[in-house]
Amino acid sequence: MIGEKKIPRILKKPGVIKDAIEISIVLLENKLQLLERNDPDTIVAFKEWFGQDDEGAKGIILERIKRVLRVSKKLSVENFKEINDKKSKTKYAEIYPDDELLMVYLGEEFWIAPITGKDSRCGVLIHELSHLNDIGGTFDYTRGESDCLMLARKDPSDALYNADSFEYFIEI
């Protein structure tokens, strides 16, 4: 429309963050309910991503989902900053595992990722929160769908604490 002013992209970012938080909460709540009910498809996916489906492993993931959910409900736009370091700027995001302020640093990849689905903004948020020591204490043992699936087959104990494996289990 002629004469209509475009809203600068920077002003849209708070809305993008709010959407990612809200939809992440829905994804986590849904996966929590499915896993608590031992939904057959969810158990198949659980074994696919973590290489095991015993009660101990399910307990670890159930507790992690509850903790990420609790923290997600407390998040606001103020918990997010953009990565300014040129070397790290091309990442999706990063977080410091012992950060009590829950600051999530967003990189360029976050802004171009889809809101849901594989490697989504919601998945990025869930992934990063799982790194927090008092939430999930996950690591980046491997990244990417095929490498995570291989990790589950070869080393289920590492898959249980791999941030991307947790992300994929929740978002796919």
Based on the residue annotation, tell me whether 128 is a catalytic residue of this protein.
yes
Please tell me the distance from the alpha carbon of residue 77 to that of residue 72, in angstroms, as a whole number.
Answer: 11
SS3 content of the chain, % helix, strand, coil (to 5): 60, 5, 35
> Would you call 138 exposed, middle or buried from its count of C-beta atoms within 10 A (0-12, 13-18, 19+)?
buried
85 secondary structure, DSSP code: -
In what order do the strands lie in the sheet containing 104-106? 80-82, 104-106, 93-95
Candidate list 63, 78, 128, 171, residue with the active-site label = 128
Please tell me the distance from the alpha carbon of residue 169 to that of residue 163, in angstroms, as a whole number.
Answer: 10
The residues carrying an active-site annotation are 128
